[in-house]
Structure 1
Amino acid sequence: MAGVRRTLRRCSAALALAAPLLGAAPAAAGTGTITLATPGYELRVATDRLTLTTVRAGRTVLATAAGAFRFRIGGAWYLVREVTGSARDGDTLRVTAATDLPGVTVDLRITLRSDRYDVKWSLSGATADALSTAYDLNSAGHWYGHGENGDQTVQPWPLDSGQLVDTRFSPASYQVVTPFWYTASATGLRVDTGEPMDVRINSGGNGLGEFTVTGERPAASTVFVEDTPAEVYRDHIGLVGKPERSDTPYEQYATPLWNSWAQLYTEQNQDNVIDWARSLAEAGLDGHAVQVEESVIAADFGERFPDLPALSKELGRLGFDLGMWTGLYMPETAADFAYAVDHGYLLKDRSNSSQPCLFTWWNGRRTGLIDLANPAARQWYTEDLKTQTRESGVAGFKFDTAFFDDRCAPYPGATRADYVTYGTELADEFDQQGAGLRVAWNAAQAKGFATRTADKPATFGGLRASVSANLAVSTVGYPFVETDMIGGSLLYPPPTKAVLVRWAQAASLMPLMYASTSPTGVRDATTGEWVGYDRETVRLYRAAIATHERLAPYIWDQVRNTVKTGDPIMRPLFFDFPQDERSYTVSDEWMLGPAVLAAPKLDEGATRDIFLPSGVWRDVGRGTVVHGPVTLKDYAAPLGITPAFVNLKAKGAAKAYQALARTGAER
């Protein structure tokens, strides 16, 4: 019915907007409200203090806060005050407003369409270096979107349930972020900028969503007004694009990618990698590739990995392809650092174009960044990767890098968007082996890369944050998503048995599995001691891999559907069940396509509460049928059980149930 209502509303809106906008005439300067109306919603512009309120069916669904508009000049902030004039031109309202700064006014333009409106504002009489708009979070219910939190240890879901402060929100961010937010009231905000932003959601518990754009361009955004959050998501995808294909083939969805980082950390060498891979194979822990988390540019790489072809051959014998870590970061200790500097292959310092831009990377090393906008540097880097594949037996790469850094100067004539374009085109020449690419900001959807979310602590908190991060990334336009390495990383002590097993079980019900810590045992990077796991750990981890492999044909169906529609594969319950209010705050369940509801245990204990939305559900572990909406209290979920349910009326239900239905401890 929502789709029918939406179609009728748009037909009516198209007729209405063919003529000048409906609604009240402009109010006198400084008094009252200007009301703009379409058949689907109203936009009310307060004139005594410039604010915008969106109303649908008589209810506020989004509103700017008091003192919503402000700007910064020379480090000082100023507020926008009362409306001093307004005029209409067809579907567009133009407004002028006073400010705190004498001689400076604001020009604001609003253009209405049937399911959205565009807002653009700028200054007259001065040039600002930042323009900020604040929204009242409560006006729209819960908030989602954004992408990953800059604090990798926590990911609020919904965003307003915690605090999120990202002062370096940018196309150059290492975090997978996109300037798109959406709400439980089925409104959405897309900020149209390629410049860095300062984004704060409920900072200090202030109840505000504060979106600050930098640079000298006007602040431009689109507000979507729809019937459901899923429709808002589709409006966003309609603007920024959807995957044209999946860069990841079926086989890489079906089995895990093993990466050596959380298993070996700084102990990366050829013998250790072979021993680790051999232990995986002997334990029956399937995977399609083993990626070495070390770069060939390291000064001592040849000492630690003296024979890559031999390593590739041995891994092949064990059933794995060889993969390598790579990135554009080039520390001063790199073997080719001096060569790169001498040839001008690194990004330049902002204040001195004759010097490379150097900054401290995560490991404390001073590093530069290869300049992909420089054709010679791009060719040099690309040829090095091709040499590795041609001569060393490397089958693919994990590209673990941003392509630009806001602390550096771009190549003459290049923009941040250009760097993302060059980076994605380069990476697209090579197999990422399911590790995907960490790029965002409406720049790489069409390539269809897998997207792995950032490192998380090796704790239950890290597992919960990884689930929320996956939901955030997946629902801003990056659907082929996987968590950080199963069990976590971030140089934490190894995960407990429960964390490792629960993480593997959760990942089995996601699009891709990304693994590292072996359930056969791992060395504690913080103490140097060996941490062993028991046989049950291996068996349950192996069972999780088997579950994912059985589910792969259903997952592949969702991949192909996403290529057609752009819809996310892993998504919050309210995307499919917007009428169920409880679904908007569930943070430990998700839908995998339309048929599978995943409800794995994400913390200590052996029971959990499970919310099932409206519909008819089959419990795949018990075989029973449950009618929703209902909350199953204290559902038994000991370590060997991964709760999951199939929506019997959804497309793909039979295939999903056949894959998931198992009895006994391996479920």
Structure 2
Amino acid sequence: MIALRSRRLFHPLAALALVATSLTAGSASAAPAVKYRDGASDITLTTPAYQVVVAKRKFQITTRRAGRTVLATTNTDAIGFSGPGGRVTATGVRKASWSRGVLTLQVGTTDAAATLAVKITPSADRYRLESVVQGATPESTGMHFAMGSAGHWYGHGEASTDAGGPYTDQPWPLDSGKVADDAFGPASYQMVDPFWFTQSAAGIWFDTQDLMKVSLGKDAPGVAGMEVTGTPSLAATFFVEKTPKAVYDDYIGITGKPAKSDAEAYQYETPLWNSWAQFYTNVDQASFLDYVHRLHDTGVPGHTMSLDDGWMSHYGDFTFNGKFPDPKAMSDEVHSLGYKFGLWVTLWINLDADNYKVAADKGYLLKSKDDPSQPCTVTWWNGKAGIVDLGNPDARAWYEGQLKALQQKYGVDGFKFDTRFYDETCAPASGYTANDYVKLGAQLTDEFDQQGVGVRIHWTGSQKYGFVTREIDKGTDWKSLQAAIHQSLAISTIGYPFVETDMVGGSEGQPPPSKEVLIRWAQAAAAMPLIYSSTSPVRVYDYVNKRWVDYDADTAKLYAKAIDVHKRLAPYIERQVRRTLNTGDPIMQPLFFAFPSDQASYTVGDEWLLGDSLLAAPLLSAGTSRDVHLPPGAWYDVARGKVVHGDLKAYPTDLGTLPLFVRMGTADTKSLIGALRH
């Protein structure tokens, strides 16, 4: 069995330097009229929309709207910090003043020498909280919230859990599991943002570029803890709205909506086929072409055949190894069958690569923090390497030249970029910060066709780049499929609308998916913005059990049928792309975004709205039936050709059925029914 790489240890930087910090950014209006009351036990700020109540003796911050609590900190560790002596928590308010729309507090702590300088600044639909530790040097500063005060929790992005997340687990909502991430930040490989929102229509955004430690119900049951490391201060904005969707809109007002979609229209119609889950690194020219021909001959659609890791002579040398005796002929054969041809690439140059000495001698690599005269050496899943310094214009031009040479010599149409643009153990180029490298990476990758596979760039402000987002690697079982769907919803609702699951059927070095998992995954992907495929529904090698797996002829037919549904939806999806460029709305969204009064929808994670007119309810587990929750209103049942109302029990879902329901009375109702009707 070949050695399969692990992507779990890979943490590429995905930060963005341009983060809005203005309280009035986005939809927030000018400061409202605020009533200030300093009582015996608490301080209250009352705006036309909400109240902020600060308990004085046992420090706690409670947010209320329309007379009810929508978010509350704990009363034991509302704000605190950690240092060499352990955890220090807020105790009580020592001084308070209200001036020019700002509440200023001096808060005592369990460390007699340390206090917290806290400022709360209300605005029309949010308030900003800033806290600075005085009299101590903290290792981290953070806040803790009573999760039950706000109903169910969402946001965050890809979640690390004890149950296998983010690879085989993703709680939906977040409070249904235990989430803990000590490396939550711009440098994480996981798609995450420091933004959470709740069923009560409250939201939290931490304005930071620093590493955070996040626990949602893990460190303490029912407690959400967010700590910012390496700083004595923190800044957070709390949104107070009428619906969760309005909180999302507020956040997008800060991040910025996508300026474009980096995927072309045809890439929304049919899948990209990538070799990774089919072969891992054990790919060669003959097997890759056999893979392409079998898909083509069986009639399974796709727009691009992408050769993943396993083709380079050394990592960082843009030359084919001996397994590919005639790369130009391979590319020509792929083109002759009507596909584009793509390659996996990396900015990391291994120490044994010929290009390493070239890049090191010319100063093209990021420098070591400890010794700036030497290149920075980092460890990744394929060994030890240096990283091309995109802050050096000559280095960037040299790297781009390597890619363009591949295009010219071999007819390569585009690339899958699968590395970070920076490593926090390295030193940035003069005049640059670490966070600047995400922007540099975005500019680099925008020079090339990413072929619908995208780039994993995240953190507040990255939304505006409009990259397709592919999920982190998944397993090949039912749990992994369920996690993939929950994760697509999570990523969509932190502002990344052009989302796709990991490769249909998963990978992670596990045995290939069963026929049922593969088809159900393809059906679910058909009702998402884009499809990312790898495992062939014809034949795949099982590297765990060292044998070929031949799927029956029905598998390819059902897979192609799912893709046909997606292709029928392409004009509708294209309209949703235009819509999100105009509004910032997610394309794939939870039911409660459109139906906030439908309480049952807040725990539904196996259904979603594609745009505002189509509800998808694929089967994500073994069986041939499922219950379907339909929000209030009339829905056209595509499979049965009739209008239905209310929940459907034991809805028949044989392996050829993808339950889809068109919302009646929208601008797209007629065209959707026409496109999907058999």
TM-score tier after normalising by the smaller chain length = over 0.9
Paired residue for 1:640, among 656, 665, 668? 656
1:129 aligns with 2:139: yes
Distance 1:561 1:280 in 2: 34
**C-alpha separation between the residues in 1 aligned to 2:387 and 2:80?**
35
Query: Match for 2:339 among 314, 320, 326?
Result: 320
Q: CA deviation at 1:309?
A: 2.2
Counterpart for residue 511 of structure 2: 493
The corresponding residue for 1:519 is 537
Unaligned runs of 5+ in 2: 1-27
Match of 2:244 among 216, 223, 229: 229
C-alpha separation between the residues in 2 aligned to 1:597 and 1:205?
Answer: 36
- 1:264 — aligned with what? 279
Match of 2:322 in 1: 303
Deviation by residue 1:285-319 (Cα, 9 ceiling, x = unmatched): 11110111026654283312233322221101111
1:426 aligns with 2:439: no
Alignment RMSD (CA, Å): 1.8
Q: Given the alignment of the two structures, is residue 37 of structure 1 paired with residue 56 of structure 2, yes or no? A: no
Q: TM-score w.r.t. structure 2 length? A: 0.91
- Superposition deviation, residue 217 in structure 1: 5.8
Letter in 1 for 2:71: L
Q: Does 1:22 align with 2:35?
A: yes
What residue number does 2:25 align with?
none
**Which AA in structure 1 matches 2:140?**
A
What is the CA–CA distance in structure 1 between the aligned matches of 2:311 and 2:353, rounded to whole Å?
9
SS in 1 for 2:35: coil
Aligned partners of 2:32 and 2:47 also within 8 Å:
no
Instruction: Give the AA of the match of 1:90.
Output: R
Q: For residues 444-499 of structure 1, give each alpha carbon's deviation from its aligned partner in whole angstroms, at most 9, with x where no partner exists.
A: 32221111111100111111000011001011010000000000011111000001
Q: Following superposition of structure 1 onto structure 2, how do residues 428-577 of structure 1 map, counting pairs within 5 Å?
A: 428-577=446-595
Secondary structure of 1:178's partner? strand
1-structure distance, mates of 2:213, 2:591: 29
Q: 1:14 to 1:659 in 2, by over 3 A?
A: closer
Task: Say whether residues 1:77 and 2:87 are aligned partners.
Answer: yes
8 Å CA contact retained: 1:242, 1:563: yes
Compare 265-274 and 566-575 and name the one that shifted more.
Answer: 265-274
Report matched runs for 1:206-285 at 5 Å. 206-216=221-231, 218-285=233-300
Please state how far the C-alpha of 1:405 moved relative to its aligned partner.
Answer: 2.5
Contact 2:255 2:462 in 1 (8 A): no
Mapped partners of 2:421, 2:215: distance in 1: 24
Q: Determine if the alignment matches structure 1 residue 351 to structure 2 residue 370.
A: yes
Distance of aligned partners of 1:579 and 1:283 in 2 relative to their CA distance in 1, 3 Å threshold: same
* 67-76 vs 492-501, which moves further: 67-76
Q: Is the 8 A contact 2:254 2:461 kept in 1?
A: no
Question: 1:94 and 1:389 mapped to 2: Cα distance?
Answer: 60
Q: Deviations over 1:556-586 (max 9, x none)?
A: 0000000000000001100111110010000
CA deviations over 1:39-77 (Å, ceiling 9, x no partner): 111010111122110001111000111212111233632
Change (3 A) 1:164 1:346: farther
Shifted more, 565-574 versus 307-316: the winner is 307-316
- Aligned pairs for 1:76-115 (under 5 A) are 76-115=86-125
Total equivalences in the alignment: 641
Map of 1:631 onto structure 2:
647
SS of equivalent residue, structure 1 residue 65 = coil
Task: For residue 269 of structure 1, report the CA deviation from its aligned partner.
Answer: 1.5
Read off the aligned partner of 1:106 and give its amino acid letter.
L
CA 1:590–1:388: 2 relative to 1, 3 Å = same
How far off is 1:652 after superposition? 1.1
Residues 645/287 of structure 1: CA separation in 2 closer, same or farther (3 Å cut):
same
What amino acid maps onto 1:58 in structure 2?
G
Give the structure 2 partner of residue 9 of structure 1.
Answer: none
2:8 — aligned with what? Answer: none
Q: Offset at 1:237?
A: 0.3
Query: In 2, are the aligned partners of 1:298 and 1:333 still within 8 Å (CA)?
Result: no
Superposed, 1:588-607 pairs within 5 Å as 588-607=606-625
- Asked if the contact 1:293–1:324 (Cα under 8 Å) also holds between the matched residues in 2, the reply is yes
Answer yes or no: is the 8 Å Cα contact 1:617–1:646 preserved in 2: yes
Cα distance change of structure 1 residues 122 and 205 upon mapping to structure 2, 3 Å threshold: closer
- Residue 215 of structure 2 aligns with which residue? 200
The 10-residue stretch of structure 1 (350-359 or 302-311) with the greater mean CA deviation from structure 2: 350-359
Deviation at 1:592, TM superposition (A): 0.3
Give the drift of 1:18. Answer: 5.4
- Aligned partner of 1:4 in structure 2 is none
Superposition pairs of residues 324-403 of structure 1, within 5 angstroms:
324-363=343-382, 365-403=383-421
Q: Distance in 2 between matches of 1:175 and 1:347?
A: 23
What secondary structure sits across from 1:325 in the alignment?
strand
**Kept in 1: contact 2:493–2:586 (CA 8 A):** yes
Residue identity opposite 2:665 in structure 1: K
Higher relative contact order (CA 8 A, sep 6+): 2
Shift of residue 244 of structure 1? 1.3
DSSP 3-state at the match of 1:85: strand
Asked whether the equivalents of residues 284 and 311 of structure 2 are also in contact (C-alpha less than 8 Å), the reply is no
The CA distance in 2 between the partners of 1:18 and 1:102, in whole Å, is: 37
- Residues 1:633 and 1:333: Cα distance change in structure 2 (over 3 Å): farther
Q: How many Å apart are 1:126 and its aligned residue?
A: 3.0
Contact 2:46 2:52 survives alignment (8 Å) = yes
Residues 591 and 607 of structure 2 are in contact (CA less than 8 Å); yes or no, is this contact kept in structure 1?
yes
CA distance in 2, matches of 1:387, 1:444: 29
